[in-house]
Copies of this chain bind each other. A is one copy, B any other.
């Protein structure tokens, strides 16, 4: 270990930020490997999950909002999932252009298999800490994210 002359400002928040980056990267990497045999990626799996959760009632834009992503990011994934036959489009009575994204039977099957692969991993992870502590960690992350988003709106308002 050398001396680190810059001493670039140590703050507890920074430790959270770095751990968030690491955990996020680890989750994406693990997810990619986990569902690769199903022809999925982490991103496609997530979108498929959102579509499944919506029960066929959401347009692409709604799915994107639910996931907190840009519309165009989700649009491309949905198009690929449709090309792979995992989702389809149903006419939207309320909007001629914004069709509803629905699961196909094949999509349901693939998503269920992904869930089955993930379940034991989720349980192993949860076993690392007690349930109360896990809940509090999630609340802490959400609270700090809330502050960050407050800062963001403050700035755009100024």
The reply to whether the CB of A88 lies closer than 8 angstroms to some CB of chain B is: no
State how many residues of chain A have any CB contact under 8 Å with chain B: 73
The reply to whether the CB of A119 lies closer than 8 angstroms to some CB of chain B is: yes
Contacts of A108 in B (CB 8 A): 6
A143 to B121, CA, bound (A): 14
Given contacts A5-B55, A23-B20, A137-B16, contact A129 B145 (CB under 8 A): no
A14 to B69, CA, bound (A): 18
The reply to whether the CB of A2 lies closer than 8 angstroms to some CB of chain B is: yes
A9 to chain B, nearest CB (A): 5
B122 pairs with A13, CB closer than 8 A: yes
Within 8 A of B (CB), among A7-29: 8-9, 11-17, 19-27, 29
